[in-house]
Chains A and B, each alone.
Chain A
Amino acid sequence: MFVLLVVMALCAPLYAKHVAHTTPDRNNITGKVTVGGEQRDVVSLDGIPIGPTWQGEYLLGADQNGRDVAVRLLYGARNSMFIALTATAITTILGIILGLLAGYYRGVVDWIISRSMDVLWAIPVLLLGVALGVSLALGGVKLGPLELSGDSLWIPTLIIGVVGVVYLARPLRGEVLRLREQEFVEAARAQGASGPRIMFGEIFPNIIATVLVFFPLLVANAVLLEAALSFLGAGVRDPDPSWGTMIGEGEKVIITQPALTIAPGLMLVLTVLSLNVVGEAVREAIDPRARVRLEQ
């Protein structure tokens, strides 16, 4: 299911070119489209966009700017998936490193990492995301060699990636705390292995299962967070499509043209649902007894 969604997102340009004959951000406010033999305005004179036509052009209707919703939906899927997957990759890498460091070295290192996590956890994720998103988007980011303009996709990606670290690093830290006391770790130390070598050579292979279980859940989480941020205007910015921005735009005409909100909403539900199913399956396959939950 999730794979199908990804394939759909990847095929977006094909669909746009050969079926819908448009691009995700081509405005067409004054244009007309033939539906069932009769000519109709894409956007009516009083500003109400056309509903689903169930044909090649404007399959799911248009938005206020006369852009094809189906095309934007697919392109939005690309953005949403890109952000979610990249953010989760960032989360995973950071989470593994921090979890290993905190769990293995304990003491001061653990204290610093764990307390930072507490702080991050104490702030509502959305609030933090919006605050960061708005402030970063206004000024752009200049971090050494890293330079991002305000409308770059990397800004929401980074925010979502960093915010999610807490959910992975904590359980991993616990796992590492348990593993480090195992005798095979002591055996490695008796052979003269260094700290990093034990962490990555001995302990890391044992936490991969946990990471695998968390991964789809984290992606689902990231998709939702991205949608929420974009909806609030702190994530992906117009004219770039994303499900969140599309819901945000559709919300203005939700009474007259609900399809505009329902379509991306359904996509969101499907994606998150499928990811959760994947996560559940992975969990069952690896350890039927373990209970993993993401709390937010």
Chain B
Amino acid sequence: MSDDLLRVEHVRQWFPLRAGLLFDRTVGHVRAVDDVSFTLSRGETLGLVGESGCGKTTLARTVLRLLTPTGGSITFQGQDVTTAGRRDLAPLRRDAQLVFQDPHASLNPRKCVGDIVSAPLKRQGVGKAERRARVGELLELVGLPASARSRYPHEFSGGQRQRIGIARALAVKPKLIVLDEPVSALDVSIQAQIVNLLDDLQEELGLSYLFVAHDLAVVRHVSDRIAVMYLGRIVELSPAEELYHRPIHPYTEALLGAIPVPEPRRARRQRAVVGGEPPSPIDPPSGCVFHTRCPRAQAKCSVEVPPLTQYDGGHAAACHYPLNVTEAQIAASTRSPDSPEAAGDVTPEVLPVAQSA
């Protein structure tokens, strides 16, 4: 078995759209996730960013098999779980857990914290006395008093509830935790606390994270690598720091430009801003899905699906006319095996100078 904890290959998640008076006909699909591939190693944190509706949450749920993918394959700890039934999913359910975005909706309001946190243990058949001890440990681990166990979720603040959610995820000693925007519903000061808690836990317990977020500022601190999603596809995948210094895909640059700066007058940097709304995933644009909003788009972009091109330093991007790369780097690049199946066999080019102004 390799060091890969999770391997996602060409995963598609298309939701059928139904219409019709008497009989439902499928009239189209929402391509929430369209041919996405990536791997996650043990102990690694992969940040997954993109704007609302780009499919990152769907991808997170598909990875955990809360949804069955329309296509592609998911391998968890060397075992194919793409179409596994409830029984065969047991290892995934034990070793992979989910932390939700909204700590108000993710805790059952009618159950006390002790029951919530010990529910996963109960499902694994852990005895009562042991469960009690473990709940105490877990609450302490996430920085809550042991007395919290007999109280109900509504008695806690948002940050505390998120801690309860994390304790529940940790209960079964998972190897992978999928964090679905775990801090975006919280105050900024609480965000930092939770992010630091997650960081400490990772170090202590050797966890892997798939960290979903909609802005680049949060993931920067926790991620080893970051994947940028747009309209159901991964457009750039890069080591975390590198992404901030050398964005290759124009969409990534636009996202970076959208991070608020504390003192805009002093930090006057060039901001790339893309206008408009993302196109509908029901009928995504041909070729590169970003070409309708891309400031660098050329004729080729609307025809040819760009492959994910692997550059030096583990940095990959799917763009015909990449930013911040030299001709030599392009020459040294290779087509990533994680490219979409529909992608053409083309190499990126340097943008013609006349157009770049």
Contact = CB atoms under 8 A, between A and B. Distances in A.
A205 interface: yes
A190 B101 CA distance: 15
Interface in A191-205: 191-194, 201-202, 205
B32 to A, nearest CB: 16
Given A183-B102, A205-B110, A206-B108, A190 B123 contact: no
B100 A206 contact: no
A31 to B, nearest CB: 60
A55 interface: no
A190 B93 contact: yes
B98 A186 contact: yes
Contact of A190 (B97, B102, B110, B111): B97
Interface string B101-125: 1100111111100000001100100
Contacts of B102: 183
Nearest to A189: B66
B110 A183 contact: no
A194 B66 contact: no
A201 B116 CA distance: 11
Contacts of B94: 192
B86 interface: yes
Interface string A176-190: 000000111011111
A200 B298 CA distance: 57
Nearest to A204: B110
Contact of B119 (A191, A206, A208): A191
Contact of A187 (B90, B168, B172): B168
A191 B100 contact: no
B86 A192 contact: yes
Contacts of B109: 206
A205 B111 contact: yes
Contacts of B201: none
Interface residues of B, number: 26
B138 interface: no
Interface string B58-91: 0001001010000000000000000000100110
B100 A192 contact: no
Given A192-B93, A193-B123, A205-B111, A187 B86 contact: no
Centre residue among B66, B89, B109, B110 by max chain A CB count within 10 A: B110
A186 to B, nearest CB: 6
Contacts of B120: 191
Nearest to A187: B106
Contacts of B89: 192
B108 A194 contact: no
Interface in A76-125: none
A25 to B, nearest CB: 48
A187 B98 contact: yes
Nearest to A206: B110
B108 A202 contact: yes
A184 B107 CA distance: 5
A201 B101 CA distance: 22
A184 B105 contact: yes
A27 to B, nearest CB: 55
Nearest to A191: B120
A187 B100 contact: yes
Contacts of A189: 66
A194 B111 contact: no
A202 B168 CA distance: 15
Nearest to A208: B110
Nearest to A195: B86
B123 A191 contact: yes
A184 B93 contact: no
Contact of A188 (B61, B105, B110, B119): B119
Contact of A183 (B64, B86, B97, B100): B100
A224 B98 CA distance: 51
Interface in B253-310: none
Contacts of B98: 186-187, 190
A186 B108 contact: no
Interface string A250-290: 00000000000000000000000000000000000000000
A106 to B, nearest CB: 13
B180 to A, nearest CB: 9
A159 to B, nearest CB: 34
Contacts of B107: 184, 187
Nearest to A179: B108
Contacts of B119: 188, 191, 193, 201
A217 B64 CA distance: 44
13 contacts: A182-B105, A183-B100, A186-B66, A187-B100, A188-B119, A190-B98, A192-B86, A192-B89, A192-B93, A192-B94, A192-B123, A202-B111, A206-B109
Given A182-B106, A191-B97, 8 more contacts: A183-B101, A184-B106, A187-B106, A187-B107, A190-B93, A192-B93, A206-B109, A208-B110
